[in-house]
Amino acid sequence: MQTSTIHPPAPRRAQPTAAATSAWTVQRIEHLLALPLPELLWQAQQVHRQHFDPTEVQLSSLLSIKTGGCPEDCGYCPQSAHYDAGVDADKLMDAEQVLEHARAARDAGASRFCMGAAWREPKDRDLDKLASIIDGVKQLGLQTCMTLGMLKPQQAQRLADAGLDYYNHNLDTSPQFYGSIISTRTYQDRLDTLQAVRDAGMRVCCGGIVGLGESRRDRAALLAQLAALDPQPESVPINSLVRVAGTPLEHAPEVDPFEFVRSVAAARICMPRAWVRLSAGRKELGDGVQALCFLAGANSIFYGDTLLVTGNADVEADRQLFERLGLHAGPLGTHP
């Protein structure tokens, strides 16, 4: 009787991509986002493994050090003074209060401590207090990141001189869709702040939000903007809109979760050396979609505590998820 031999499939040859180039046009990223999901994840995995351990995830913790009362009208944000979302305006926290949270974050395994203030921009009188907070957090052995709104060049330099490692200032969405979400600050204002941060010598944390009502082309245009920054951001948070009652986007249409995964994968391919972070809305994604995001190249999360005013998965749930997926927390995340 004749038997047949089953041969394993030949190894797939890596298709040429532009991962090593800066020519990421909107059209090229749209093509990426339209790939069959297995193909897109395969390409993202290739890029990820060239620069990172695919089983390692960097843990950040985020604290709102000044909540509510922001004069900006970002349509997604419950901290805006324009909307009644049940968020009271508070003053800037005292340094010791911040350090108490930072110690807890460090003891829970976080390596970076991110601090957010609901300001259009900081006042110069706040900078000494912020500098003291930065110094205290760094003495705990944590990397530091702040998001304080727009910065003037001299303010960025003051924060850099205090030792701030990262400054977060998201572009949120595409230049074309931006005006549908925010009217009190221009896209160029955001780009100018990012340039001031770079000129001061700090690392850039910059990403956007999926689920604002934008199109896939808008998501491609956002990623094209991020990839065109020179140098590219060292940290790229990908947020999933949390629909908060009282904000204009509380009834925004749901986005297919696979579109979120595609955005993560495209971010990994376009910005191969960045920490791609699952940020706001991670809890709502569920374990299965989070697992796909890690497969797509996400390698940083906000961990523990409360993500500004939206819920975040608790520490034990994250530890269990990592154990189930065979992931581990990475060391203090220096840029590769």
Query: Active-site residue numbers?
Result: 70, 74, 77, 114, 145, 205, 277
What is d(CA 191, CA 212) in angstroms, rounded to the nearest whole number?
20
145 C-beta neighbours (distance < 10 Å), count: 23
DSSP classification of residue 111? S
In sequence order, the β-bridge partners of residue 232 are: none
What is d(CA 146, CA 250) in angstroms, rounded to the nearest whole number?
26
Angle between helices 26-33 and 257-270 (to 10 degrees): 130
Convert 278-302 into a string of H (helix), E (strand) and C (coil). ECCCHHHHHHHHHHHHHHCCCCEEE
What is d(CA 151, CA 158) in angstroms, rounded to the nearest whole number?
10
254 within 8 A of 279, measured Cβ to Cβ:
no
Q: How far apart are the first and last CA of the chain?
A: 58
- Tokens 């009208």 identify what position? 73
HSE (CB half, 13 Å, CA atoms) of 217? 4
